[in-house]
Structure 1
Amino acid sequence: MTIDDVRALAEVTAAFHAYEHALMDDDTPAMDRLFHDAPTTNRYGVGEVSYGIEAIRKFRKGRGGSPRRRLGRIAITTYGGDFATADAEFFREGSPRRGRQTQSWVRFPDGWKVVSAHVSLEGDAH
């Protein structure tokens, strides 16, 4: 298995940034196109858990957009030509807390899609 195949890495990196752009623009049709359209696609958010693409779509419609943020460190790795992980730190405007986002991406016949996502904010250290 090839780790970080150049072509696959470039494709999933472009898809990752397309998702971030859609998220900041609250472009829900674009976000939907980048998530796998299936009941097996899941997203754990900061304040919600969504099992299946329909639950994810319902959450996006009710949210009214994502808080503005800037990305920190991004680590994208491909495993073979059809699977990748994307891990990113982010910082919301007006907040000192670091956020974390993890996505699992799979290449389907119609392109790279998120099949699992997790978003969280760091808690207070004790």
Structure 2
Amino acid sequence: MEIDLPDVVAEVTAAFDRYEAALVSNDVATLDALFRDDPRTLRYGGGENLYGYAAIKAFRAGRSPAGLSRELSKTVVTTYGRDMAVASTLFHRASAPGRIGRQMQTWVRFPDGWSIVAAHVSVIDQPKD
């Protein structure tokens, strides 16, 4: 298996960047399109465990658009072959000093393009290191 093929990393990075732009602008239609429409898709959030695309879509529809801006750091996109990748990042919000967010997404290439099949978001106190 080839890890981090440059063209695949570029594709997933573009999909990740599209997700981030949609997230901070509350573009719910794009966010919905980037998650795999499948009952096995899941998202663990800061205060919710969402099983299945329908639950994720309902969460997005009901989420407040306020306070979504954030700064990313230490983003890592690792690809495994041509059809699977993991994107990980830290995020910081001015509204939450002393806290740091962590986000991981598993992306899979399907015939219709790249989709998130699993995601995890959490916030912790800023580590001292």
Q: Secondary structure at the match of 1:59?
A: helix
C-alpha contact (below 8 Å) 2:100/2:126 kept by paired residues: no
Equivalent position to 1:109, from 108, 111, 123: 111
Identity of paired residues, percent? 51
- How far apart are residue 101 of structure 1 and its match? 0.0
Q: Distance in 1 between matches of 2:91 and 2:126?
A: 16
Determine whether 1:20 maps to 2:15: no
Paired letter, 1:28: V
After superposition, the C-alpha distances for 1:55-94 in whole angstroms (9 at most, x for unaligned) are 0011111112262211111010000000000000000122
C-alpha contact (below 8 Å) 1:67/1:93 kept by paired residues: no
Q: For the structure 1 residues 94 and 2, does the alpha-carbon distance in structure 2 shift closer, same or farther, using more than 3 Å as the test?
A: same
After superposition, the C-alpha distances for 1:34-72 in whole angstroms (9 at most, x for unaligned) are 110100100000011100000001111111226221111
Residues 1-126 of structure 1 mapped to structure 2, 5 A cutoff = 1-65=1-65, 67-96=68-97, 97-123=99-125
C-alpha contact (below 8 Å) 2:25/2:68 kept by paired residues: no
C-alpha contact (below 8 Å) 1:104/1:115 kept by paired residues: yes
Q: For the structure 1 residues 69 and 124, does the alpha-carbon distance in structure 2 shift closer, same or farther, using more than 3 Å as the test?
A: closer
Paired residues in the alignment total 126
Alignment RMSD: 1.5
Gaps of 5+ in 1: none
Paired letter, 1:110: D
Over 4 Å off, 4+ runs? none
C-alpha contact (below 8 Å) 2:44/2:120 kept by paired residues: yes
Gaps of 5+ in 2: none
